[in-house]
Structure 1
Amino acid sequence: MYNAIGNTNISNIRIFDSSHGQSKCNSKPSVPECNTNSKHQNFCVDVKSNVLDSCTNTPVTPTGITTGVTAKIPVVLAELTIQFNVNALIKLPELALEIKNIKKKVKITQCTLLQPTNILFIKGFVRKNIDYSTGKCANMEGVCGELHHCTIDVPFECSTPVTFSTPPAELAVNSSAEFEFFKVSDLPHKHFAEKDKLLSGDFSEFNQIIVENFNELPFCELISARIFEFDEFIGRHRPYESEFPFEEKLFHKIEEKMVIELTVKILQNRQVEIPPTTGGTSRPPHCFSTAEEK
């Protein structure tokens, strides 16, 4: 038999009384660790899942316009692979024993085609998550520590000429023009004959025509990225005045060399003439055959 235990301050543990078959939280809800709003509750995670039944579906054949149409769609201007050569020096916030893993993600922040030239400006960074181990305690037989991580952004940028498979649309520039109206005015008779008149434009008004054209800006899509990387630890040394395995050393600087290859597609929204389809008949959706057709 187990005896009931009272006045025991143990967080995140339910204490059972075998005489009643109830938990301490059921018998004494006023206990701090039993209160769901109490700061003593050490709750980490809760997972709930449901099993969903499979849904049925009925395939539907898509229908489209077969008589020809003018559509505005993205047109591929060029597709190219750009190579960046990056050298960076990374300083970790503490001494590290070794690098366990480095995860890398390429992020593009700018991809701009400078019209009317063929120069593409591209800018971005490589997000690196570095997992490394530390040396907290050591002797001649081994070293122990913790696994830490450091997330950094390594920037890059460059410009490169583009060879177009389809040239971009010609730029429509803005224009501004002035115009005036003819006016006949009298002249002072002191200096001119009575029949003389002043023939000129009307200086009492200002007339102008302004034309604004809004061009479609080319844009980029990132197709793929490859990174070739070489990391070298700088300033590896044995800690002074402490026992340490002879083959182990600590460092906090990493010099990295990266070759980044990005495949980028340049597009521009354009109006395209799509010709009619041939070699078959098409029927609009929701049409039924007539008795004559049968």
Structure 2
Amino acid sequence: MSDNKKQKHDDYGQKHYRPQITLGKVLTKVPVVLAEPSLQVHTIHKTCFPEDVLEIKDVKKTLILTQCRLLLPTNKLFIKGYVRKNIQYAALTELNPGVTTVSSDLHSHTEHIPFDLITEINDFITKPIMPKRNDRHEFDFLVSSPLPSGYPEKDEMLSSDLSQFHQASSEYYNELPYCELVSSKIIEWVEAVDRCPLDAAEFFNEGTFKETEDKLVIDFTIKILQNQQMYVSSTTNDDEYDCEY
């Protein structure tokens, strides 16, 4: 049996193995945290319902980022996204003044509330590796050719050859920073802007609406990472390293 898969049995008959481990100072490539900013964005949004709403029963919101880009070699961070908002509401179906009841159905309405943000990262936990620039250089060779009549016979025309093109180019494939969403908090204030009372004396405190104005404050934290090479030290006690097979 090879050294990198030495197996043994414990008291329950489970097999274990010892993987091959490179010890010492090792060069590796891993994601490195460049920054972990906490950001805030606020927006105002109008919600239009397709029917008369008696009341809002519940709201669920989820933050979704569609773009998070650290624009190297600057420190500008561009963010785009939206809040997915699902509203469960009671839609008015029937008004029964004689028995003083209001009938309604529970409906659902989902919408996306977009936002965007541009900010600066001034304090890096780890400095990003700036992109190397591509290069293109043209070069020519000297050629000589005879001159037409009217020039001294011993003279020649010295120049580059216009029928040829020479170029040396280099291209670098840089590591692009990327983001991870850590946490979010959304504070929302919703107000009906067109609420009308029900046309019945028994329901003087009831009313319906079709439009609301939503004020949102969105706080969220992200990690900005970049794959970088670094040295790590690997040491282990072989007797203590056991993995379940």
TM over 0.5, shorter chain: yes
Distance 1:85 1:113 in 2: 21
Structure 1 residues 204-263: Cα deviation after superposition (integer angstroms, max 9, x where no partner): 3111112111211111100111111111122211234x5651211111111111111110
Structure 1 residues 139-169: Cα deviation after superposition (integer angstroms, max 9, x where no partner): 3422111111111111111111112221211
Q: Which amino acid aligns with 2:134?
A: N
**Which residue pairs with 1:179 in the alignment?**
139
- Closer/same/farther in 2, CA of residues 57 and 265 from structure 1, 3 Å limit: farther
Q: 1:261 aligns with which of 209, 213, 219?
A: 219
CA RMSD of aligned residues (A): 2.4
> Match of 1:250, SS?
strand
> Match of 2:196, SS?
coil
> Match of 1:235, SS?
coil
Whether the 8 Å CA contact 2:65–2:82 is kept in 1: the answer is yes
* More moved, 204-213 vs 121-130: 204-213
| Structure 1 residue 61, shift from structure 2 partner | 6.2
Count of residues in correspondence between the two structures: 226
Consecutive unaligned residues of structure 2, counting only runs of 5 or more, are: 1-12
Distance 2:178 2:80 in 1: 14
Structure 1 residues 23-82: Cα deviation after superposition (integer angstroms, max 9, x where no partner): xxxxxxxxxxxxxxxxxxxxxxxxxxxxxxxxx965656663222222121111111011
Does 2:168 correspond to 1:203?
Answer: no
Does 2:212 correspond to 1:249?
Answer: no
- Closer/same/farther in 2, CA of residues 74 and 197 from structure 1, 3 Å limit: same
Whether the 8 Å CA contact 1:139–1:245 is kept in 2: the answer is no
* More moved, 216-225 vs 133-142: 133-142
Whether the 8 Å CA contact 1:143–1:244 is kept in 2: the answer is no
| Bigger-Rg structure (1/2) | 1
| Structure 1 residue 282, shift from structure 2 partner | 5.0
User: What percentage of aligned pairs have identical amino acids?
Assistant: 41
Consecutive unaligned residues of structure 1, counting only runs of 5 or more, are: 1-55, 286-294
**Which residue pairs with 1:31 in the alignment?**
none
Higher strand share: 2
TM normalised by structure 2 equals 0.83
List aligned pairs for 1:102-113, cutoff 5 A: 102-113=59-70
Q: 2:197 aligns with which of 220, 233, 238?
A: 238
TM normalised by structure 1 equals 0.70
Does 2:167 correspond to 1:167?
Answer: no
**Which residue pairs with 1:121 in the alignment?**
78
- Closer/same/farther in 2, CA of residues 150 and 59 from structure 1, 3 Å limit: farther
- Closer/same/farther in 2, CA of residues 181 and 221 from structure 1, 3 Å limit: same
